[in-house]
Structure 1
Amino acid sequence: MYPCEVAGIQYVSSSPFSPSYGPHFDVAWTDFPSFDFSNIFAPPPPQAQNTTTMMPRVSQAMFIGSGNSTCDEAESEKKKQQQHSERQKKQRMISNRESARRSRMRKKKQLDEMQMQVAGLHAANCRLLNDLNRVVRDCDQVLRENAKLREEATELRKRLEKIEGAKELGDADASTKLNDQQPSRK
């Protein structure tokens, strides 16, 4: 239904003292002609093009005037609603822009923090790689030293065995020589 449409027309009953109106409602009922207003807003039939001119000017002005004020009020209300919805739309747009700006700032801050964290992790990774390389070099050096010490230990054992072997031979030779040199006591 459009703002200027009329859903129905109420009419006054023929009795001046109807139950809906009290005795204080004094209207000259014979002043108004009775018309059929049921099809007033419907398009006129082709044979009755000039039937609206037959209406008295007073009643026509009465309906037009009241229709215009209702229509004006409806248009005014519609404009107010449109203005209100436009204001709300603008406020939503402003709010959405501000929210998007805050979201961008938050994402930028998170990105900056993550980049700083990546740089810190990269530096820590470089330090750990340097430490690992140093430990691997130290381990290789220790392994080489251990191998060298094992070789020296093996060599020293062999020398010791030779010395002990020579000592035993020397002791045996010395005891033989001593036995040969001592006079017999018989």
Structure 2
Amino acid sequence: MNADAIQTEFNRQLAESASIKQELAARQAGVMAEMAAVMVSAFRQGKRVYWCGNGGSFTDCHHIVGELVGRYGYDRPPLPSFVLAAGVASLTAIANDYGYEQIFKREAEAVLQKGDVLVGLSTSGNSKNVIAALEVARARGCVTLGWAGQKTARIDEVCDLVLHVPSSHTPRIQECHIAVGHVICDIIEKSLFPRA
């Protein structure tokens, strides 16, 4: 690709990403607001918010948890939020002994308590290991939230609320997930620790 073609490609992809985010806001603002309210309520009650996902979604989970435990916009007390299967030793042990589909479920069984929140990220909405953890969470009386792509999928059957990004292109879905995560972190921070 020459320099002009590269610049054109940047413009095209960034415009596409922005357009999908605008469509997401128009279609799913209510769902996103409910999800933020659920997390604010859980933190106020001393509950925890857990996250799980594969690949880029796993990385997004870590990014969001870093904002909640650290800080997003300003200094304030840390919030109890964790990524399932974050430890490499336990992840590989569980995958080896029980199978990859159990990596989140096994930890969910160890830590989830009634009233906690589990957010499962799956661009397809059908990741078996994410679904297995969400099933455990539901059985434990946790609130289950799903972040997926545009298609109705298995995640819709196991979640109280599902965010559907209006795209089937994995990178665009992930870009929306992290954008939504940032807004939710901002809302949580401002709701729990308002600045004068």
Q: TM-score range by the shorter chain?
A: under 0.3
Normalised TM-score (structure 2): 0.22
Q: If each structure's helix is expressed as a fraction of its own residues, which one has the higher value?
A: 1
Q: Which structure: larger Rg?
A: 1
Structure with more strand by fraction = 2
